[in-house]
């Protein structure tokens, strides 16, 4: 009988790394049928983007054991990327409220180009918004010159099962520790 180690840390929970060769991603349509338009976030929208992303995570029980770690990573990375001259973050609005966001890192050497991945608030899920936002994210990174993109998410989440596998991705079990270490080095 194999016993579980009492030293297992919560941030060692299963993760999946997805990668896409951007030459195989279908071209992006200008908008989708619901009339929602994807546009670039403005620098002054950084706090609202962060709140939208964190709300999406907080309302998803599959992130419960990793929420604190994800919050620290997203807060520090968003702060760093939104302090750059042109942050690469796609958002979708309904009225004056953000309902979805995808924070991206266009650095070719990044361990995680889809910093947040497509995050959709709970009441707007299951409408294809996440898939469309993923496609727009991949297209935006391709426009910035990337030919290969990676993104990480928790294993067995809706994103890992239904969103990230689209557009010809390849997935593998991974650890988020390397991404966190890379983020710490970027802040130094």
**179-188 per-position pLDDT tens digit:** 554 444 444 3
Does any domain span residue 89?
A: yes
**pLDDT winner (highest mean) among 139-153, 154-168, 171-185:** 139-153
Domain count across the chain: 1
pLDDT at 178 over 80: no
- In this prediction, residue 26 carries a pLDDT of 66
Task: For strands 119-120 and 97-103, give the pairing.
Answer: antiparallel
Does any domain span residue 168?
A: yes
Does any domain span residue 73?
A: yes
- The CATH number of whichever domain residue 164 belongs to comes to 3.40.630.30
* Residue 48, domain extent: 13-26+35-187
Q: Give the 3-state secondary structure of 81-150.
A: HHCCCCCCEEEEEECCEEEEEEEECCCCCCCCCECCCCEECHHHCCCCHHHHHHHHHHHHHHHCCCCEEE
Interval 29-83: pLDDT, tens? 444 444 458 999 999 999 999 999 999 989 888 888 888 888 998 999 999 999 8
**pLDDT winner (highest mean) among 29-38, 83-92, 112-121:** 112-121
Does any domain span residue 135?
A: yes
Interval 19-44: pLDDT, tens? 999 887 666 544 444 445 899 999 99
64, 65, 72 from 7: Cα distances, Å: 19, 15, 22
Task: Write out the E strands in 41-96.
Answer: 89-94
Does any domain span residue 43?
A: yes
Does any domain span residue 5?
A: no
Does any domain span residue 116?
A: yes
Does any domain span residue 2?
A: no
For the whole model, what pTM was predicted?
Answer: 0.81
pLDDT at 15 over 80: yes
The overall average pLDDT reported for the chain is: 81
pLDDT at 7 over 50: no
């Amino acid at each position: 009988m194999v016993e579980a180690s009492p030293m297992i840390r919560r941030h060692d929970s299963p993760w999946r790394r997805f990668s896409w060769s951007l030459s195989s991603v279908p071209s992006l349509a200008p908008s989708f049928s619901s009339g929602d338009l994807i546009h670039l976030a403005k620098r002054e929208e950084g706090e609202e983007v962060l709140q939208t992303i964190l709300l999406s995570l907080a309302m998803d029980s599959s992130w419960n054991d990793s929420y604190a770690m994800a919050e620290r990573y997203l807060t520090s990375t968003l702060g760093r990327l939104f302090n750059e001259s042109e942050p690469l973050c796609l958002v979708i609005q309904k009225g004056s409220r953000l309902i979805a966001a995808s924070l991206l890192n266009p650095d070719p050497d990044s361990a995680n180009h889809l910093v947040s991945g497509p995050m959709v608030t709970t009441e707007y899920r299951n409408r294809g918004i996440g898939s469309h936002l993923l496609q727009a994210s991949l297209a935006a990174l391709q426009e910035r010159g990337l030919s290969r993109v990676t993104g990480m998410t928790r294993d067995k989440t809706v994103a890992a099962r239904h969103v990230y596998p689209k557009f010809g991705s390849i997935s593998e079990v991974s650890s988020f520790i390397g991404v966190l270490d890379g983020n710490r080095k970027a802040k130094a």
